Structure 1
Amino acid sequence: MATLTDLATTSVGSFDREDDCQATNGEHTESLPRPLQVIVVGGGIASLVASITLRQQGHKVVIYEKSRFANETGAAIHCTPNATSALRHIGIDPRDGGAVPLVESRWCKASNEEMSPATAHAADAHRWESGCMLQPWLLAHRAQLHNQLKAKATSTAGKGPPVKLLTSSTVVQADHQTSTVTLESGETKQADLIIGGDGVHSVTRQALGPDMPTAFKTDRYAFRFTYAKALAMSDPVTRPLIEQECVMISWYGPDRKIVLYPRSGNTLLNFVCIHPASASGDSDDYNKTASKAQLLEVYADFHPVVLKLLAKIGEDQVSLYPLYDMKQLPTFATGRMSLVGDAAHPFTPHLAQGGAMAIEDGLSVGTMLPFGTLPGEVESRLQLYNVARYERASAIQEYSRYAGGDSTTRVTSKSGSSLKVLGFLEYGSSHDEYYVSRKILRDYLSKHSGSEPRWRSPLGFGLLQGPRQDLLGRSHADSLRKSRSKDASIRFATSATVLRCLLPSDRYCFKTRDTVQFATLTLQTLDRLAWLGGGGYSLLGFYIHGVCYQQKDGKLVEGKYCPVMVENLADPIITGREELGIPKVFSDIDIRRSGTSLRATVAWRGTT
Structure 2
Amino acid sequence: MPATTQVKSNKANAVAVVFKPVESTADTPAKSAPAIARKPLSKSQPFDISARPWQDFRAQTPIDVLVIGAGMGGLATAVGLRMAGHRVTIFEAVPDIKDVGAGIQVAPNASRILERFGVLDELKKDGIMLQTLSLRRWKDDVEIGRAGLMPAVGNKYNAPLMVAHRADLQRTLLNRALALGVTVRTGAVITAIAEDFSPRVQLASGEWISGDVVIAADGVKSFVREQIAKRKGYQNGTMSTGDAAYRILISEDRMKGDQKALGLLRGVTGSRWMGPGGHIMAYPLRSNKMYNMVLIHPIRPTQQQTESWTSRGTKAEMLKTYAGWNSTIRHLLSYVPDGEVMEWTLNSHAPLPSWVENKFVLVGDACHPMLPYVAQGAANAIEDAAVLTVALSVIGSTNSIDDALRIYQAVRKARGEAIQASARETQRALHLPDGKEQEERDRKIRDSTEAATKRELGAGEKRNPDLWSDQQWQDYMWGVDVMKETLEKWSEIVLAQPTQTPISFSKRVD
Q: What residue identity is the alignment partner of 1:274?
A: I
The change in CA–CA distance for 1:101 and 1:314 in structure 2 (over 3 A counts) is same
Asked if 1 retains the 8 angstrom alpha-carbon contact of 2:314 and 2:338, the reply is yes
- Give the distance between the partners of 1:59 and 1:117, measured in 2 at CA: 48
Q: Give the ranges of 4+ consecutive aligned residues of structure 1 lying more than 6 Å apart after TM superposition.
A: none
The answer as to whether partners of 1:50 and 1:361 remain within 8 angstroms in 2 is yes
Show structure 1 runs of 5+ residues with no match.
1-11, 17-31, 408-416, 454-500, 505-562, 564-608
1:345 is aligned to 2:368: yes
Q: How far did residue 386 of structure 1 move? A: 0.3
Alignment of 1:373-392 (within 5 A): 373-392=396-415
Query: C-alpha offsets along residues 115-136 of structure 1, whole Å, 9 cap, x if unaligned?
Result: 522111125225433xxxx311
1:109 aligns with 2:101: no
Which whole-Å CA distance do the structure 1 matches of 2:154 and 2:395 have between them? 38
Q: What CA distance in whole angstroms lies between the structure 2 residues aligned with 1:196 and 1:171?
A: 11
1:257 is aligned to 279
Alignment equivalent of 2:178, drawn from 128, 139, 154: 154
Residue 277 of structure 1, aligned match among 299, 305, 308: 299
Q: Give a deviation string over 1:124-171, Cα, whole Å, max 9, x none.
A: 225433xxxx3111101111111110111111xx5xxx1110010011
Matched, 1:332 2:355: yes
Change (3 A) 1:92 1:438: farther
Check 1:33–1:398 CA distance in 2 against 1; reply closer, same or farther (3 A cut).
Answer: closer
- C-alpha change, 1:186 and 1:138, in structure 2 (3 Å) is same
- 1:451-462 equivalent positions in 2, closer than 5 A: none
Paired letter, 1:320: E
Aligned length: 408
Partner of 1:35 in structure 2?
62
Secondary structure at the aligned position of 1:61 is classed as: strand
Query: Could you tell me which of 407, 411, 422 is aligned with 1:399?
Result: 422
Q: 1:228-256 deviations in whole A, cap 9, x for unaligned?
A: 1343363135345x165221111122012
Moved more, 258-267 or 378-387: 258-267
Q: Which residue of 2 aligns with 1:189?
A: 209
SS of residue paired to 2:393: coil
Shift of 1:441: 2.3
For the residue of structure 1 that corresponds to 2:414, the secondary structure is: helix
Match of 1:357 in 2: 380
The equivalent position to 1:168 in structure 2, one of 167, 187, 201, is: 187
Equivalent residue, structure 1, for 2:148: 120
Instruction: Name the structure 2 match of 1:44.
Output: 71
Instruction: After TM superposition, give the deviation of residue 37 of structure 1 in Å.
Output: 0.9
How far the C-alpha of 1:112 sits from its partner, in A, is 3.4
Structure (1 or 2) with the greater strand fraction: 1
Partners of 1:243 and 1:180 lie apart in 2 by: 49
Q: What is the CA–CA distance in structure 2 between the aligned matches of 1:419 and 1:344, rounded to whole Å?
A: 28
CA contact (8 A) 1:97 1:145 kept: no
Return the letter of the residue paired with 2:169.
L
Work out whether 1:293 is the aligned partner of 2:320.
Answer: no
Change over 3 Å in CA distance of 1:406–1:362 after alignment to 2: farther
Question: Comparing both chains, which one has the higher relative contact order based on Cα–Cα distances under 8 Å and sequence gaps of 6 or more?
Answer: 2
Q: Describe the SS at the equivalent of 2:74.
A: helix
Letter in 1 for 2:408: Y
- Determine helix, strand or coil for the equivalent of 1:426: helix
Give yes or no for contact 2:374–2:426 (8 Å, CA) kept in 1: yes
RMSD: 2.8
Task: Write the letter of the residue equivalent to 1:248.
Answer: G
Q: Where do 5+ consecutive residues of structure 2 fail to align? A: 1-43, 49-58, 431-461, 503-510
| Aligned residue in 1 for 2:112 | 85
Name the CA distance, whole Å, in 1 between partners of 2:167 and 2:174: 10
CA distance in 2, matches of 1:243, 1:153: 32
Find the partner of 1:427 among 476, 482, 499. Answer: 476
For residues 371 and 385 of structure 2, the distance between their equivalents in structure 1, rounded to whole angstroms, comes to: 19
Query: In structure 2, what is the Cα distance between the partners aligned to 1:406 and 1:61?
Result: 42
Contact 1:81-1:128 at 8 Å conserved across structures: no
Give the match for residue 99 of structure 1: 127
Distance 1:301 1:210 in 2: 48
Contact 2:123 2:168 in 1 (8 A): no
- Tell me, yes or no, if the aligned pair for 1:97 and 1:144 is still in contact at 8 Å: no
The verdict on how the C-alpha distance between 1:243 and 1:204 changes in structure 2, with shifts beyond 3 A counting, is closer
TM-score, length-scaled by structure 2:
0.74
Cα deviation per residue 1:189-209 (whole Å; 9 max; x = unaligned)?
111110000000001112334
Letter in 2 for 1:78: Q
Greater C-alpha radius of gyration: 1
Normalising by structure 1, report the TM-score. Answer: 0.63
Instruction: Tell me the amino acid that sits aligned with residue 69 of structure 2.
Output: G
Residues 392 and 106 of structure 1, relative CA distance in 2, 3 Å threshold: same
Please tell me whether residue 214 in structure 1 is matched to residue 246 in structure 2.
no
Show CA shifts across 1:250-306 (max 9, x none): 112201222111111121101101111117822423222222111110101101222
Which residue matches 2:326?
303
The match for 2:221 among 166, 178, 201 is 201
Is 1:14 aligned with 2:37? no
Distance 1:33 1:221, change over 3 A: closer
User: Is the Cα–Cα contact under 8 Å of residues 112 and 251 in structure 1 kept in the other structure?
Assistant: no
Distance 1:231 1:139 in 2: 21
Is contact 2:198–2:360 with CA below 8 Å preserved after alignment? no
Larger relative helix fraction: 2
Q: Identical aligned pairs, as a percentage?
A: 25
**Cα drift, residue 217 of structure 1:** 4.0
Tell me the amino acid that sits aligned with residue 351 of structure 2: Q
Partner of 2:35: none
Matched, 1:65 2:87: no
1:438 Cα deviation from its structure 2 partner: 2.3
